[in-house]
Amino acid sequence: MGDFAVLMTARLMVLTYVVRLLVDVHGWPTDVRRLEKWERAVRWVWTIGCSIFLLHVVAAFQFVHGWSHAAAYAHTAKQTAAVTGWQWGGGLWINYALVLWWPVDVVWSWRRGMDHLPRGYVIGMHMIVGFLMFNATVVFGAEWWRWMVVPTLGALVWSRWDGRRGDERIAPDGRG
């Protein structure tokens, strides 16, 4: 039961992140009514993703690590070494930072609106959360994740690059 909870919360969390990533990469609708509906829906998905992430952390510590930071660090280092050859568990600290940051981001998103977040902030968020999601799927996930994630990321980058040529989307706050 415990391993299943850890696994399913990780998969659901990745799904919610992909929704946010797709919207941020492809831009927000320019029609105000559509924008409000999209933003509300994405905000709920992002909030649910945060809740699932926090449940994932609790499940991992309860069922896998016995509420021990040392055990979690060792487990992370072992899995990282199995894939990269580098015995390092420091990615765990990024998870801890996300435990603090994601709920704050959810509150900020509900108060300010997601389409008005500064571009640098959104890019930084995707770098951090994307790193964790990549590790959750490619490093720690099942082998089939590897075969899904790399082509999906490639297609996402290509679609963004290809779609931006001559068709620059500008969000309501002026960022493109």
Cβ–Cβ < 8 Å for 110, 98? no
> What pLDDT is stored for residue 155 in this prediction?
75
Closest C-alpha to 83, from 128, 140, 3: 140
Residue 99's identity, in one-letter code, is V
Cβ–Cβ < 8 Å for 154, 19? no
Q: What is the mean pLDDT of residues 67-94?
A: 93
The SS3 of residue 61 is helix
Residue 174 predicted with pLDDT over 60: no
> What pLDDT is stored for residue 59 in this prediction?
97
Residue 144's identity, in one-letter code, is W
Model's pTM, two decimal places? 0.81
All structural domains of the chain with their residue ranges: 2-164
Closest C-alpha to 77, from 65, 91, 66: 91
Residue 89 CA to residue 79 CA, distance in Å, equals 9
